[in-house]
Chain A
Amino acid sequence: MTRARVWRTVTPWLYLAVPLALLITFTYIPVGNMIRDSFTDWDGVSPDRDYVGTRNYVELFTRPELFQVFFVSIYYLVASVVQIVLALYFATVLSFDLRFRNLFKGILFFPYLINGVAIGLVFLYFFQPHGTLDTVLSAFGVHGHHFWLGSGRMANTSLAGVSVWRFMGLNFVLFLGAIQSIPGELYEASELDGANRWQQFRHIIAPGIKPVLSLSAILAISGSLSAFEIPFIMTNGAAGTQTFVIQTVKLAFEFNKMGLASAAAVALLVIILLVTWLQRVVVPDERNDLV
């Protein structure tokens, strides 16, 4: 090989060395280690670990107190359905010419940009007994104070509500962007044909936002399973609000059950990959990027 040819073979790898090294070190090696550890009883500290087969996985899916977290994610899943429906409604409404359109758009989107800890504290205050929410409710004739974060069902509903408040803006802006990229002539033509708003939504808007809608669906599912910040900051998983990720973090770093925590993380990873794959099969992406 001539020197020039060696050079030409090596050059791309010079640019790729750092990105690939980081990708492998912080994504692939952790996944590999996690899979390996999930079959052991490692405590995360001691040098030795014993192979225990699939015991961790069996424990994860059979011990009721561990399995409980999946029921909590149902709250977040329902919340994300509400969130998508609301986002669709507001995106449709604000795609037409309205007064103060930009102001409303800004207000609806802004929560998505706010720091999660700040949101957690804002809503801890909001949900205080005799706090903001109770004050507002009493103006509408609902008196007394409520323990919004007190027990399982109520607390989870409140927390899921906060997550709608926080994430609706992103869905809304994504939908709005998709709707606005639909050529205006389509609406004009349909108006000439006598279509009403609902028919316009059904036959013009809905098909135009299908890719974004399917993206929102996976984000919703993976987001509900990996809900962490809001419940961790607000209740730290107390009163039956423990989510999958809070439980995993506690198993790993508080109870030194690295094997079990790894199994939990692998299970979550598999579920999320499965959902993503399903979405790709159901709604194939026409504009296939990279390749």
Chain B
Amino acid sequence: MTRKALLRALVYLSLLLAGAVVLLPLLAVFLTSLKTSEEIGQGSGALTLPHNWLNYHNYVTAFRAGKMLRAFWNTAFILVFSIGGTVLIGSMAAFAIDRFTFRLRRLVIALFLIGSLVPSVTTQVATFKIVDNFGMFDSRWAPIVLYMGTDIVSIYIFLQFIRGIPISLDEAARIDGANTFTIYWRIILPLLKPAIATVVIIKGITVYNDFYIPFLYMPSENLGTISTSLFRFKGPFGAHWEDISAGAILVMVPTLVVFLFLQRFIYNGFTRGATK
């Protein structure tokens, strides 16, 4: 074997090892989600195969006792409003900043720029009181407003994109008698589609996965999102790992499906989102 071939083999070996490290914990949970509590009680190892591959019983328990249907509904509600709001707010802010010259423009830009540096984990202690004062505590509007209001990355993404749209389009429309809102709504927004796709994907995944904000602002059990409802599995299901595993798999499946279908967009989206 030449040195080059040996090197190549080592590279593949490292990739296989990394793949195993990523997949093994997930595989163990998947296998466990298909086992009965007796199987686990008998000391069936984490990586042994289940007796019945079609045992969906634990999923039913997770859905019913774990209130996962309610959780998916709450998460969907929050997703729709916060993503819609983020797209409108972000694109309007970018439109105003890029297409108008006005006094204090630099100050506005600086406010957004500095705001993007403040990590939201640090400010929740004080944000909590403000949300509470608005009477939004323990309602789905608290996370919706927070997701909309603290997303400066989206404004960046829209701003990057809006610059590429020629101003001559705005001018042509203006000559035809369009006002600025028509220009924004009929010309800019439709042309922003690729940027909107990026924002929807990044925002969607972030909101779907967020735990901190719903945990802090929506303690009621019937306001559980998928994160907080899954978190509550820790208590009542105690050591019932088959139910907990089923819950965890339920939460991961939508992510996997979205990832498989939108891979290219997701890679591009996160690369763009993080470096801007």
Contact between B252 and A27, CB atoms less than 8 A apart:
no
Contact between B112 and A123, CB atoms less than 8 A apart:
no
Most chain A CB atoms below 10 A, which of B96, B146, B256:
B96
Contact between A15 and B92, CB atoms less than 8 A apart:
yes
CB distance from B204 to the nearest CB of A (A): 11
B129: interface (CB < 8 Å): yes
B178: interface (CB < 8 Å): no
Query: Closest chain A residue to B184 by CB distance?
Result: A15
Contact between A132 and B28, CB atoms less than 8 A apart:
yes
CB distance from B148 to the nearest CB of A (A): 6
Query: Closest chain A residue to B90 by CB distance?
Result: A19
Contact between A262 and B125, CB atoms less than 8 A apart:
yes
Contact between A177 and B47, CB atoms less than 8 A apart:
no
A117: interface (CB < 8 Å): yes
Measured between beta carbons, the chain A residues less than 8 angstroms from B216 are 249, 253
Measured between beta carbons, the chain B residues less than 8 angstroms from A222 are 119
A258: interface (CB < 8 Å): yes
Measured between beta carbons, the chain B residues less than 8 angstroms from A86 are 18
Contact between B245 and A125, CB atoms less than 8 A apart:
yes
Measured between beta carbons, the chain A residues less than 8 angstroms from B111 are 20, 23-24, 28
Measured between beta carbons, the chain A residues less than 8 angstroms from B113 are 290
B103-135 CB contacts (< 8 Å) to partner A: 103, 105-106, 108-109, 111-113, 115, 117-130
Measured between beta carbons, the chain B residues less than 8 angstroms from A15 are 92-93, 95-96, 184
B56: interface (CB < 8 Å): no
Query: Closest chain A residue to B155 by CB distance?
Result: A19
A226: interface (CB < 8 Å): yes
Measured between beta carbons, the chain B residues less than 8 angstroms from A98 are 11-12, 15
Contact between A12 and B126, CB atoms less than 8 A apart:
no
Query: Closest chain B residue to A34 by CB distance?
Result: B126
State the CA gap A261–B274 with chains docked (Å). 29
Contact between A12 and B92, CB atoms less than 8 A apart:
no
Measured between beta carbons, the chain A residues less than 8 angstroms from B120 are 27
A-B contacts, CB under 8 A, total = 252
Contact between A117 and B231, CB atoms less than 8 A apart:
yes
Contact with A along B193-209 (1 / 0, CB 8 A): 00000000000010011
A252: interface (CB < 8 Å): yes
Measured between beta carbons, the chain A residues less than 8 angstroms from B256 are 110
Query: Closest chain A residue to B228 by CB distance?
Result: A117
Contact between B127 and A30, CB atoms less than 8 A apart:
yes
Measured between beta carbons, the chain B residues less than 8 angstroms from A125 are 25, 28-29, 32, 46, 241, 244-245
State the CA gap A123–B149 with chains docked (Å). 33
A1-38 CB contacts (< 8 Å) to partner B: 9, 11-13, 15-16, 18-20, 22-31, 33-34, 37
State the CA gap A118–B251 with chains docked (Å). 7
A interface residues, tally (CB under 8 Å):
86
Contact between A31 and B126, CB atoms less than 8 A apart:
yes
Measured between beta carbons, the chain A residues less than 8 angstroms from B23 are 107
B89: interface (CB < 8 Å): yes
Contact between A132 and B47, CB atoms less than 8 A apart:
yes
B74: interface (CB < 8 Å): no
A182: interface (CB < 8 Å): no
Contact with B along A161-173 (1 / 0, CB 8 A): 0000100001001
State the CA gap A179–B126 with chains docked (Å). 41
B51: interface (CB < 8 Å): no
State the CA gap A19–B92 with chains docked (Å). 8
CB distance from B92 to the nearest CB of A (A): 4
Contact between A118 and B252, CB atoms less than 8 A apart:
yes
State the CA gap A211–B274 with chains docked (Å). 12
Known: A19-B155, A113-B259, A122-B29. A276 touches B146 (CB 8 A): no
A286: interface (CB < 8 Å): no
State the CA gap A211–B244 with chains docked (Å). 41
Measured between beta carbons, the chain B residues less than 8 angstroms from A258 are 125
Contact between B275 and A229, CB atoms less than 8 A apart:
no
Contact between A25 and B123, CB atoms less than 8 A apart:
no
Contact between B126 and A265, CB atoms less than 8 A apart:
yes
Contact between B148 and A22, CB atoms less than 8 A apart:
yes
Query: Closest chain B residue to A111 by CB distance?
Result: B22
Contact between A113 and B266, CB atoms less than 8 A apart:
yes
B271: interface (CB < 8 Å): yes
B180: interface (CB < 8 Å): yes
10 contacts between A and B (CB under 8 A): A23-B115, A26-B127, A27-B123, A31-B126, A34-B125, A93-B14, A114-B209, A115-B252, A262-B126, A290-B109
Q: Which 3 pairs of residues, A with B, have the shortest CB-CB distance?
A: A22-B149, A15-B96, A30-B126
Q: A228-B212, A233-B211 are in contact. List 16 more A-B contacts (CB 8 A).
A: A12-B105, A15-B96, A24-B111, A26-B146, A27-B115, A31-B123, A34-B122, A110-B259, A114-B255, A116-B209, A117-B231, A126-B28, A136-B47, A177-B267, A249-B125, A258-B125
